[in-house]
Amino acid sequence: MNDVLLTVGAPPLYCLYLDKPMRDHVLLQAIARVNRPYVDKESVQKKVGLVVDFVGVLRELKKALQFDSLDVSGLIEDLDLLLVDFKAKIAKAASEYLDAGDEGGADERLERLVYGRFMDRDVRKAFFESYQEIEDLWEILSPSPELREYIVAFKRLTVLYAAVRNAYAEKIGFIADLAHKTRRLIEGSATQEQLGRLTKAVTFDTKTLDTLRRDGGSDEGKVFNLVRGLQKEMDDDQNAAPLLQPLKDRAERILKDLQDRRTTGLAAMDLLATLAAEKDAAVKAAEESGLSRRAFAVSWSLKDDAALNCASVNSLDLAREAETISKRFPNATVNSDEQRRFRAALYRPLLKLPTADRTRIVDHILATLLG
Amino acid sequence: MISERSNGELRERVVYWSKRLSVKPRLVRIQRMTRKWGSCSTSGTLTLAVDLAQQERAFQNFVVAHELLHLRVPNHGKLFKALMTVHVPEWRDLEASKKTVKK
């Protein structure tokens, strides 16, 4: 029934049978559906529509038709109130968040804003909340000629919102959630992807780092992009993940220090450069060893292990042996019996170690190789 | 006696908010409610919990304004929330505090 009532461009209706109780606006719409005068191609006029009421709802019609000019004026008052609220809020937000000075191009100004005060989590939270309120008001009030003079400010706030959301997202390619009308407003001038242009996938290695250092733009932004690049590398290659995880943990700590303002963008870049050098060395050594990435991660993570060194077990030899053993148990990940036998075989090269260390290292090898 | 006086205070709140929101509840009931602080029916009946009188003024305002606003906007959509923000700016905090107030 509702489909029939609301369809735009539906064929003219001459007669309406009311067979279920309706009231208020639903009843009003139903009656209005049969109430439209119409002239067809052969100039046959429809002047009246017939309503056949089987349930006695016409008693309700009187009430439905009294729709109150009071209701309508009430709604208009509400909208006026909201417009005042909107104006106050957008003016406050614009003066608070949109001022980035006059230096540099639009992109640079945006980047300065995003990696400036928004580094602080609480500032971001307050900004998101205040933007959400403004966006909600926009969705309610638009379209309205009263909003015209605020389009520019609202667009800039939206671009900033999306850019901040994207810049501090954990993964690249995050797309900020914008409400329907707002998205349409933005679509003319910028795509969502463009809004995310501050977030780039950059490879985490010394070469990229050097290139980045020579580029303009904020160091903070580069740190975020580098750490995200490392995350992406781990997501893309599950086998490289065990080797990269310790580096990632340290990179995350640097990022956190930066966010808590315990370090500067420049200093963070230096620390990341050290990590990148370590990573390059690890990757190079991994290739030379001829081991699989996972097996190499075993050797790399145990190379400074005190217990191993004490028993003069070479971590690279251990990793190589572990890999050879692992080939005998290809289903160890899923088959618990195979896994048990794999574990038992791993104990053999570690017999010289004290029991506690032996167990710890075997656990570590299993976790690294089987994921 | 106490309950009559506090009922009077609650009714005052209702009158104040009815004027401010320009709505007319058809009937205001103040009664024992075990799970909610207030409710509002489409036919215009406003019901408030009798123990709301013992709560802080800000919380009373929040509950009364919320229920009366339903006479304007029958749902909890964007419009409802935006209007709540205009009339009771700190309503989100009050709503969060609702969970800690034992009902």
Domains of chain B: 2-100 (3.30.2010.10)
The pLDDT assigned to A1 comes to 47
> d(Cα A276, Cα B38) in Å, to the nearest integer?
61
Predicted complex ipTM exceeds 0.90: no
Under the banding of pLDDT at 50, 70 and 90, the label for residue B28 is very high
Torsion, Cα of A233, A235, A241, A245 (10° steps): 80
Residues on B contacting A at a C-beta cutoff of 8 Å: 22-23, 72, 78-79, 81-83, 85-86
The closest CB to that of B72, out of A74, A136, A140, belongs to A74
The pLDDT assigned to A93 comes to 95
CB contacts, 8 Å: A133 with chain B: 82, 85
Nearest chain B residue to A137 by CA distance is B82
Q: Is the pLDDT of residue A154 over 90?
A: yes
The closest CB to that of B78, out of A75, A85, A140, belongs to A140
Residue of A136, A139, A181 for testing the chain B interface, max B β-carbons within 10 Å = A136
Candidates B68, B73, B89, B70; CA nearest to B15 is: B68
State the nearest Cα–Cα gap between A264 and chain B, in angstroms: 35
pTM, full prediction:
0.69
State the nearest Cα–Cα gap between A134 and chain B, in angstroms: 9
* Six token digits for residue A321: 């042996």
State the nearest Cα–Cα gap between B95 and chain A, in angstroms: 16
Residue of A79, A80, A130, A137 for testing the chain B interface, max B β-carbons within 10 Å = A137
CB contact under 8 A, B82 and A140: yes
State the nearest Cα–Cα gap between B46 and chain A, in angstroms: 18
Residues on A contacting B at a C-beta cutoff of 8 Å: 74-75, 77-78, 81-82, 85, 133, 136-137, 139-140
Phi, psi for residue A133 in degrees, rounded to 5: -65, -45
Candidates A30, A158, A3; CA nearest to A90 is: A158
Q: Is the pLDDT of residue B45 over 70?
A: yes
In angstroms, what is the C-alpha Rg of chain B? 13
CB contact under 8 A, A136 and B81: yes
CB contacts, 8 Å: B78 with chain A: 136, 139-140
Phi, psi for residue A240 in degrees, rounded to 5: -80, -15
Query: HEC profile for A206-259?
Result: HHHHHHHHHCCCCHHHHHHHHHHHHHHHHHHCCCCHHHHHHHHHHHHHHHHHHH
Q: What is the DSSP string of A104-145?
A: S-HHHHHHHHHTTGGGSHHHHHHHHHHHHHHHHHHHHH-S-G
Mean pLDDT within B44-61 = 92
> pLDDT by residue (tens digit) across A208-258?
888 888 887 788 888 888 888 888 888 888 888 888 898 999 999 998 888
